[in-house]
Structure 1
C-alpha cells in the first residue's frame, strides 16, 4: 500500500469513516463517511477541485495562457506536436518548428511533455541535437510538448487549500555527495536503498538518459569517484518523484509568497493546488519570480516520507480535505 493511501486510511478512522481500498494495486479507494456521504480518491486526487479547473491546469500551455492574462510572471514558451497529430491538423507547429524555436530562444531551454506529471521527461536541453532526441522520446508517449525559456532560481512548491498555505518546501534535484572512495553508481545505489527504507520506493531510474546526459556534461560517468564532500547533480529537474529532496520552508515562507500562491489558486478556480515557483529566496518579500506550474493534485508522498514533521503537515492537510468532503 502506498504511503499516502495508508495515511488516508488511518485519518479516516479518526472520522469514523469506512475506507475500501482496491486490493491489487492499492492506489484507489472509496470513503463512506459517518453521515452517509461518499467520496472516492486515486492516490492524491480527491473530489475537491472542480473538474473544469482541474483539467485546465493539467495542460501547461492552456494554464500559462490564463495565468499570463491574470498578470502572473509565467515562463515564455510554445507548444509543438507530433507528426501523427500534425498530419491530421496541418496548422499545428511540428517538431521542426520546435527546433527553430529553441534556437530563437537561445540554449539552454527546458523541453517537457505538455500534460504529464512528476517531471516525466522534463529535460534541460543545450543543443539542437539534444532537443530532437528529447522531442522524439516525448512523442513516443505523448502527442505534445512545450519548449520554455530557461530561468534561474530556486525551485519551491507551495501547497494551498482554501486560502491557507499548509506546506512549503524547496525542491533540490537528484544529487550525490562524494566520499573519495565510492563510484557515483555505488553512491546512487546507496541513496536508492535509503529512499526505500523511508518509504519512497525505487524512484531513481539508473537508465534515465537525462542522468547520463548530465554526467557527460560534467565529464563524468557512473564509474567516476567523487572527492569527499563534493556534490554532483544528476538531474536538472527538481521533482521529488525522480529522486529530488525537500528542504522545508513552511514556517519561514514570506507572507507575500503565501498571498501570491493563494491568489493564483483562487484565480485558477481551484481549492487545492501545488504552486511551483522559481525565486531566489522565498523567505524575503516578493520580488522577481517565475511561475512554473500549478498542479491541481499535488503529490506529497515523497515529501511526507522525508521526516516526521513533514508527515504531520501532510496529515493535517489530508484531514482537512476529508472533513471538507464529509461536510460539504
Structure 2
C-alpha cells in the first residue's frame, strides 16, 4: 500500500511524510497545509468513534441488529478476572455480563458448531470453530487466559464475502475461500501445506480442523480432495479470494452500503455470509465490519488482483485528499 500511496502523491505533487523506521505511518500534506494521517491501512476517512465501534464486534452486531440487519446469534463473554473486578467495583454492570459457563449453555441452546473469536482483533487471530462441548470448554479456558472478552457465535452456512464500500459505492466484492490444500494422492497434508504462503502449520487450530475431517498431519488426501486447514477465511492466514463484484446482487450491494452508512463509515469492509449472494432478497448475516480493510494479501495473488487493489486505493486516496483521478 505504501508504494501505491507514494506513487499517488508523486503524481499529484503532494508531500508524503512517513515514519523513517517502518514507513507504515505518516501523513499526506495537502495544498492548504492540512495533514491527512494514516497508519497501515487506517486512513483519515472514518470518524474516530465509528472506527472504535467497528473494532468491537459485539457493539457492531448489537447496533446493526437494533437497526434490523441480520446478524448471527451471538454471546459476549468475559474472563473471570474481569468479571470478579466488576462485581466489586460495578456490580450493577457485572450483573448483565456473561461468563464461560454462559457460553456453554448458549452453544447447547443454539446448537453446534459455534465460532469463538476475540471481541477485538483483526486478521482472524485466535478464531476457532468448535463442534462439541468438550472442545468448547478447552478453547474457552485457553482463550480467556489471553483475551479479556470473547464473542461466541452460531456458525452460519454460505459464501463468506467481504464487500468494500466507499462513500456509498461498492468498490470490490470478494468471495473468501478457507485456507486449504488439494490432495495429489502422494503427499501428506503437512507436506502440501508447506506451499501455502502465510500458513503456520503449527497453529493449534490446524489439528482440530483436520480431526473434524477425519484426517491428521500425516494423512495423504486423495487426488483432488480438498482439506481445510483453518476455521477462518482471512486472507492474512493464507486464504484465497475471488472477485465477485459483478456476480453478487444489487440488493446485497445496497445492504452493504446501508450497513456502512448505519455505522457512520465512509470506507469499510463489510464481512457477511450469504447462501445465495447472486439472488435478490437472499438471506445474509453480517459477521463484522472492518474500518481498515487490508488488501495486501489479495494483491499478492496475481497481476489482475494487484491492478484491482491499485484501483481501490486510488479511489481511497482521492477521497482522502479531495482529488479526482477519474
8 Å CA contact retained: 1:121, 1:134? no
8 Å CA contact retained: 2:276, 2:282? no
Asked if 1:73 corresponds to 2:78, the answer is: no
Asked if 1:100 corresponds to 2:105, the answer is: yes
Q: Distance in 1 between matches of 2:322 and 2:282?
A: 39
Asked if 1:152 corresponds to 2:152, the answer is: no
8 Å CA contact retained: 1:35, 1:326? no
Q: Distance in 1 between matches of 2:32 and 2:183?
A: 55
| Residue in structure 1 matched with residue 187 of structure 2 by the alignment | 182
| SS in structure 2 at match of 1:80 | strand
Name whichever of 287-296 and 89-98 sits farther off.
89-98
How big is the shift at 1:68? Answer: 0.7
Asked if 1:301 corresponds to 2:296, the answer is: yes
How big is the shift at 1:156? Answer: 0.6
| SS in structure 2 at match of 1:157 | strand
Q: Distance in 1 between matches of 2:276 and 2:304?
A: 22
Structure 2: gaps of 5 or more residues: 88-93
| Residue in structure 2 matched with residue 214 of structure 1 by the alignment | 209
| Residue in structure 2 matched with residue 28 of structure 1 by the alignment | 25
Q: 2:144 aligns with which of 139, 142, 146?
A: 139
Name whichever of 278-287 and 260-269 sits farther off.
278-287
8 Å CA contact retained: 1:279, 1:289? yes
| SS in structure 1 at match of 2:43 | coil
Structure 1: gaps of 5 or more residues: 193-202
Name whichever of 284-293 and 9-18 sits farther off.
9-18
How big is the shift at 1:34? Answer: 4.3
Name whichever of 99-108 and 119-128 sits farther off.
99-108
Q: Structure 2 matches for 1:1-328, cutoff 5 A?
A: 4-90=1-87, 91=94, 92-192=97-197, 203-327=198-322
8 Å CA contact retained: 1:16, 1:33? no
Name whichever of 180-189 and 266-275 sits farther off.
180-189
| SS in structure 2 at match of 1:277 | strand
| TM-score, reference length from structure 2 | 0.92
8 Å CA contact retained: 2:276, 2:283? no
